[in-house]
């Protein structure tokens, strides 16, 4: 990365999520990537501890938030995009294929008629290869489907924010078994990212460190091509797909998938309150996960 931009990471140790603030130092314009809304499933209560750290950072450094970027509709944490926008401004953006994800989950959750799966909950929908700007810095949105059909990576000034398409070299890749996920597509998306210049800095959205290693979130294209346990250059598509599908078949449904998806396909907005003024989340019974053997 040139001296033009800085990246500050914020790690949430409850969901293993890394959020980022990218700053164009010349204009003090900023983009926030994948912000977390804390959620206690037991009580159904949201908190803003993580989001408030981002707000404090933005205010302390006198930044103007232009973008709140989501790499995808996350299944493991709720997004604080809407809360941040209320406090900091900025446009909430995601990939245009979010409409497919909204259609799938509108049906799965039997959402209210007023929920339109047309992406209008977001301020901007990125097309593949779309160029945008953070202050004076050019950035590019890359469609990288596979983990979900709508995943995007964001390429900014020699750094790529890959969401869940790749994890750290010793962790590998994300699952591809959610609705609309596809291991073949994920392989192609990983190769697309790994075709960037070897020195490209890479920032991942989660880290699940093996025992004995502290959480980490920054690597490079070169390191991934040499060492990633799922995606190094020597691993071909057939080998990857077989490994990914076998592994996915053993994974539990993520703890927060039901609340996360219902909030995240609304761009971080809670469902509309019912006639008592309270927002509710739904739990579809016997719909997702594996049937009893």
Q: How far is the CB of 56 from Fe ion (least distance, A)?
A: 26
Task: Tell me how crowded residue 212 is: count the other CB atoms within 10 A of its CB.
Answer: 5
Tokens of 150: 């709508």
Nearest to 32 by CA among 73, 65, 62, 71: 65
Q: How far is the CB of 74 from Fe ion (least distance, A)?
A: 5
Q: Which is nearer to Fe ion, 29 or 104 (CB)?
A: 104
Distance CA 222, CA 196 (A): 9
Give residues 85-104 in contact with Fe ion (rule: CB under 5 A). Answer: none
90 in helix, strand or coil?
coil
User: Rounded to the nearest 5 degrees, what angle is found at the Cα of 259, between the Cα atoms of 256 and 263?
Assistant: 125
Give residues 22-81 in contact with Fe ion (rule: CB under 5 A). Answer: 74
Residue 207 makes contact with Fe ion by CB under 5 A: no
Q: How far is the CB of 33 from Fe ion (least distance, A)?
A: 13
Cβ atoms of residues 67 and 147 within 8 Å: no
Q: How far is the CB of 111 from Fe ion (least distance, A)?
A: 20
Q: Which is nearer to Fe ion, 150 or 221 (CB)?
A: 150
Q: Which is nearer to Fe ion, 38 or 164 (CB)?
A: 164
* Stretch of residues binding Fe ion (CB under 5 A), selected from 21-29, 56-64, 158-166, 279-287: 158-166
Tokens of 40: 């206690």
Distance CA 26, CA 212 (A): 39
Distance CA 204, CA 202 (A): 7
Cβ atoms of residues 289 and 255 within 8 Å: no
Q: How far is the CB of 178 from Fe ion (least distance, A)?
A: 8
| Contact residue for Fe ion among 24, 70, 157, 164 (CB under 5 A) | 164
Tokens of 146: 């596979």
Q: Which is nearer to Fe ion, 96 or 164 (CB)?
A: 164
The strand pairing partners of 280, in sequence order, are none
Task: Tell me how crowded residue 256 is: count the other CB atoms within 10 A of its CB.
Answer: 18
Task: Point out the residue whose Cβ comes nearest to Fe ion.
Answer: 164
Q: How far is the CB of 238 from Fe ion (least distance, A)?
A: 24
Q: How far is the CB of 70 from Fe ion (least distance, A)?
A: 10
Q: Which is nearer to Fe ion, 63 or 72 (CB)?
A: 72
Cβ atoms of residues 15 and 48 within 8 Å: no
Q: Which is nearer to Fe ion, 151 or 157 (CB)?
A: 151
Q: Which is nearer to Fe ion, 74 or 266 (CB)?
A: 74
Query: How many residues bind Fe ion, per CB under 5 A?
Result: 2
Cβ atoms of residues 85 and 55 within 8 Å: no
Provide the binding-site residues for Fe ion, judged by CB under 5 A: 74, 164
């Amino acid at each position: 990365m040139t001296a033009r931009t800085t990246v500050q990471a914020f790690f949430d140790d409850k969901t293993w999520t890394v959020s980022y603030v990218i700053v164009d130092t010349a204009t003090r314009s900023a983009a926030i990537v994948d912000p977390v809304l804390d959620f206690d499933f037991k009580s159904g209560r949201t908190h803003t501890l993580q989001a408030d750290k981002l707000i404090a950072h933005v205010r302390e450094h006198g930044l103007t938030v232009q973008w709140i970027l989501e790499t995808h509709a996350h299944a493991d944490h709720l997004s604080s995009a809407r809360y941040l926008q209320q406090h900091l401004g900025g446009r909430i953006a995601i990939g245009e294929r979010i409409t497919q994800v909204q259609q799938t989950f509108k049906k799965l959750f039997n959402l209210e008629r007023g929920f339109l799966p047309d992406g209008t909950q977001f301020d901007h929908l990125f097309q593949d290869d779309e160029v945008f700007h953070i202050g004076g810095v050019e950035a590019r949105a890359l469609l990288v489907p596979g983990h979900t059909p709508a995943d995007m990576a964001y390429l900014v000034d020699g750094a790529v924010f890959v969401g869940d398409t790749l994890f750290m070299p010793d962790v590998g890749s994300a699952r591809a078994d959610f609705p609309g996920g596809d291991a073949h597509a994920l392989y192609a998306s990983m190769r697309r990212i790994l075709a960037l210049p070897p020195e490209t800095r890479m920032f991942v959205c989660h880290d699940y460190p093996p025992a004995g290693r502290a959480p980490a979130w920054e690597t490079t294209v070169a390191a991934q091509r040499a060492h990633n346990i799922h995606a190094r250059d020597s691993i071909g598509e057939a080998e990857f797909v077989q490994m990914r599908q076998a592994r996915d078949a053993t994974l539990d449904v993520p703890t927060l998938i039901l609340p996360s998806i219902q909030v995240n396909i609304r761009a971080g907005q809670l469902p509309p309150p019912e006639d008592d003024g309270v927002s509710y989340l739904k739990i579809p019974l016997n719909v997702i996960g594996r049937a009893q053997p």
